Amino acid sequence: MSVTTELGPTSVVSGATLAPPARAWGRDFPMIPMAILGIIGFVALFADFLAPHDPQVGSLPDRFLPPFWYAKGSAAHIFGTDHLGRDVLSRLIFGARVSMIVGFTAVIVSGVIGTTLGIISGYLGGWVDQVIMRVTDTWLALPALTFAIFLAAIVGPSEMNIVIILAAVYWTRYARIVRGEVLSLKEREFVRLAIVAGCSKWTIMRRHILPNVINSSIVLGTLMLGIVIITEASLSFLGVGVPPPKPAWGVMLSDGKQGLMVGYWWLTVMPGTAIMLMVLSANLLGDWLRVKLDPQLRQL
């Protein structure tokens, strides 16, 4: 995108993107957020080998054990145990898997749907555009979490359904932004030349439009990752997300409420910290990508 940026007053603002590519990926690369996401991804991938205990089976005599540094704590349960005597660390580790799978799949599915519809809507125009955009506007007006709860109440809780629900709720964000970009892209020379050269509409959309909007979609997707993970955790917390025996972080927080008033803080703080670290990292990565790939989206 930066190739066509003219050396006008705007180039001062988007100066970072005019830098040569070698430097563009260096220097301010967000190492810590990437490392955190990398660790969560690694843990999620090898959960079966890393988790010291079965996340779904507990022993009732060991209920509410505090973390190991307390006198009552045990070295077998570093982060303590929950109300059923299940190991908190193991549940955190397997919870990473749930968050990663649900988060990434939902972002990818909603991104693909939204980008496709945005391109079709923007490029074809006419009644197709009208239909897609009216639906997009209407769905955008529905408050996201309420809409997701409504859908969850209809289809019932399961990991697969959560992905579908999140995709149904969030594709509109991509469609709106991508359509806006396509509207200006289709007036550009290279698209007109492609039309003159006899390319079909589908070829133009796929070969000429898509590569030019994909950056925006990726940036938006990274920024949506945090929102999607929070929504998943909220749904699980409310009992309409990932069904209970499965160790999702939102479910852990919901279970942890039972011990909150008696001061069993680790049941809240541990999964809470995990959610916060993941969302924070995703947001930092998204912010950085936005500046690097797409200065137009800075205002987002």
Binding residues for another protein, per CB under 8 A?
Answer: 134-135, 137-139, 141-147, 149-155, 226, 230, 233-234, 237-240, 253, 256-257, 260-263, 265, 268-269, 272, 275-276, 279-280, 283-284, 287, 299
Q: Which is nearer to another protein, 13 or 193 (CB)?
A: 13
Q: Cβ 29 to another protein, closest distance in Å?
A: 17
Partners of 74 in beta bridges: 77
Query: Is residue 63 a contact partner of residue 83, using CB atoms and an 8 Å limit?
Result: yes
CA distance 235 to 188: 43
Token pair of 243, please?
């069904």
Q: Which is nearer to another protein, 151 or 185 (CB)?
A: 151
Q: Which is nearer to another protein, 43 or 233 (CB)?
A: 233
Q: Which is nearer to another protein, 206 or 298 (CB)?
A: 298
Q: Is 74 helix (H, G, I), strand (E, B) or coil?
A: strand
Q: Cβ 137 to another protein, closest distance in Å?
A: 6
Q: Cβ 121 to another protein, closest distance in Å?
A: 15
Q: Cβ 76 to another protein, closest distance in Å?
A: 25
Q: Cβ 131 to another protein, closest distance in Å?
A: 10
CA distance 72 to 256: 19
**What one-character DSSP code corresponds to residue 65?**
P
CA distance 232 to 226: 10
Q: Which is nearer to another protein, 5 or 268 (CB)?
A: 268
Q: Cβ 109 to another protein, closest distance in Å?
A: 17
| Non-local CB neighbours of 104 within 8 Å, separated by 6+ positions | 225
Burial group, residue 30, by CB count within 10 angstroms (0-12, 13-18, 19+):
middle
Q: Which is nearer to another protein, 152 or 191 (CB)?
A: 152
